[in-house]
Amino acid sequence: MPHLDAAVPLHTLPQMLLDVAAVERNIGIKEAWTRERGMVLAPHIKTTMTREIVCRQLPGSWGVTVATTAQAAHAIEWGATRILIANEVLFRGHLEQLRAWLAAAPELDIYCLADSAAGVRAMAEVFEDSPRPLNVLIDVGTPGGRTGIRSGPEAGPLAAEIRAASGLLLAGVSAYEGVAPNTRTAENLAGIDSHCRLARDIFDELHPAFEVELPVFSNGGSAFQDRAAAFLPHNASVNVLRSGCYVVHDHGTYRSVSPVPGLTAAAVVRALVISAPEAGRVVLNAGKRELAYDAGLPVIVSRYRNGALLPVGADARLTRLFDHHAIVDDAEGLQVGDIVDLGISHPCSVFDRWREVVAVSDDAVETWRPMF
């Protein structure tokens, strides 16, 4: 990521900064990568939940993916007309909201997941006699993972439950390989391939039972999307890739495992050195409340003093986070008053920490507001 000049006007520190050119470049790279592999893109917008980013993703996408009905509401407001809720929607109030949206907007299509007869019954109770049906994808999971059936024999009876339910349409199969550790060891890739193969085989077996003209096969996050692309159905389908983190990439986990060449990190958190209490140690005014840390601690990618860009000490590293403080060790050369830009790992865990982010382009500095 090119450094964002220290002269960017900020009303406070710490602050999250976005490189708009990098965001737009990542969008174009991912759209081309997806097309070349016979897939369509439904970006998982939970990564950013930011209107200005989603509106840049929509024109080249089949639809969008969300995790909750609250996120779906924002997606509709931002212009999405095809929404995949990659989750089991079972709470009656949420289902009633889906029914109301579909009845009010003929152009809107909504897909959600099911992995149990009880879940199907909950959806059917609300959608019975609905003027528009709800598209349902069978959710295929992994042992020890999240939701989803665990074996092929479970798929047929669940498909029959969906087909028998008034107001529901059996529309395809969904899987997600990203619950695996973000490493490309032979053992890990073998497990990912096994999961992708199982989902593909279930889709092919159920193909005659689908109730839509072109059923959906959905798979693929941002870490192992190449493995998802290697196990597409043999039967007619729309192959939906629902990656999300690619849009801002990162300086850690996705930089290490993403198979898509050319993506660049587009986000940093800018912080201030506020204390140097011990030799070789400084303290920054950003911590757990401002920084993602679930997939590795942030790294220092640039530093400034009096507006001048200076080399980053090769050994300087964050070693501990408090609520609003970060400890940097081996910090020789850093002094109180210096500004540092911190690269984060796992973008899904940083946008939700900010009510405002500063978006920097060649000709403008804007304030964008994530809506979680």
303/233 Cα distance (integer angstroms): 49
Residue whose pair of structure tokens reads 């406070």 in the numeric block: 12
Q: 366 forms bridges with which residues in the sheet?
A: 359
pLDDT for res 236 = 96
Same domain for 272 and 235: no
Helix and strand tally (H, E) in the chain?
A: 9, 18
42/168 Cα distance (integer angstroms): 22
Residue 311 within any structural domain of the chain: yes
Residue 66 within any structural domain of the chain: no
Same domain for 294 and 210: no
Residue 114 within any structural domain of the chain: yes
Same domain for 217 and 175: yes
Among 214, 243, 272, where does a domain finish? 243
Where is 99: in which H helix or E strand? Answer: helix 92-104
5/209 Cα distance (integer angstroms): 57
Domain that holds residue 299: 263-368
pTM recorded for the entire structure: 0.96
**What one-character-per-residue DSSP string does 191-246 give?**
HHHHHHHHHHHHHHHHGGG--SSS-EEEE--SSSHHHHHTS--SSS-EEEE---GG
* CA-based nearest residue to 289, from 323, 260, 319: 323
* CA-based nearest residue to 59, from 71, 38, 43, 39: 43
pLDDT for res 1 = 42
Query: How does strand 238-241 pair with strand 40-41?
Result: parallel
pLDDT for res 220 = 83
Among 243, 277, 294, where does a domain finish? 243
pLDDT for res 140 = 98
* CA-based nearest residue to 41, from 221, 231, 250: 221
Q: 149 forms bridges with which residues in the sheet?
A: 140
List, in order, residues 6 or more apart from 251 with CB less than 8 Å away. 1, 265, 298, 299, 301, 343, 344, 345
pLDDT for res 314 = 86
CATH number at residue 330: 2.40.37.20
Same domain for 206 and 267: no
Same domain for 190 and 144: yes
Residue 224 within any structural domain of the chain: yes
Q: 135 forms bridges with which residues in the sheet?
A: 111, 169
Residue 312 within any structural domain of the chain: yes
pLDDT for res 146 = 93
pLDDT for res 2 = 45
Same domain for 215 and 102: yes
Sign of CA dihedral 92, 97, 98, 103: positive
* CA-based nearest residue to 46, from 20, 74, 67, 76: 67
Residue 118 main-chain phi, psi, to 5 deg: -65, -40
pLDDT for res 3 = 57
97/70 Cα distance (integer angstroms): 10
Same domain for 337 and 299: yes
The tally of domains found in the chain comes to 2
CATH number at residue 235: 3.20.20.10
Same domain for 362 and 268: yes
Same domain for 290 and 198: no
As averages over each run of 10 residues, the pLDDT of the chain (372 residues) reads 73 96 98 98 98 98 98 98 98 98 98 98 97 98 94 98 97 92 93 96 98 96 94 97 97 94 98 97 98 96 95 93 98 96 94 97 96 94
Residue 19 within any structural domain of the chain: no
- Write out the two tokens for 303: 């530093």
Residue 235 within any structural domain of the chain: yes
Residue 347 within any structural domain of the chain: yes
Same domain for 114 and 223: yes
Same domain for 317 and 237: no
CA atoms within 13 A on the CB side of 265: 26
Asked whether the beta carbons of 127 and 134 are under 8 A apart, the reply is yes
Same domain for 183 and 329: no
